[in-house]
Amino acid sequence: MERDSQLKLYGQVADRLKEAHSVVRALQVPEGVRMALSRKLLVITAAAKHDLPDAARRLDRLMKDLDEGRFPEGD
């Protein structure tokens, strides 16, 4: 049963990561900001391989920041 819930969470995180990448691509922000956001998404993707619940929380925070217009500083 636990494996089923883990698979379900994995599918949800994967779908949300795809959506997040689309959102980041569509943002009208400087290239440095877009690169910083892409790096954050890559870190979340890597984290999902080791700690799926933590990756889901990180993704939630990132999407909330994007929804509220909070973007990282660009290089």
| Whether residue 55 has pLDDT greater than 80 | yes
pLDDT mean over 24-42: 95
| Whether residue 60 has pLDDT greater than 80 | yes
| Whether residue 22 has pLDDT greater than 80 | yes
Cα–Cα distance, 71 to 8 (Å, whole number):
29
The parent domain of residue 56 ranges over 1-68
pLDDT for 72 equals 86
Q: Total domain count for the chain?
A: 1
Q: Does the residue 4 lie in any domain? A: yes
pLDDT for 75 equals 60
Single-letter amino acid code for the residue at 7: L
Cα–Cα distance, 75 to 54 (Å, whole number):
26
Q: What pTM does this model have?
A: 0.84
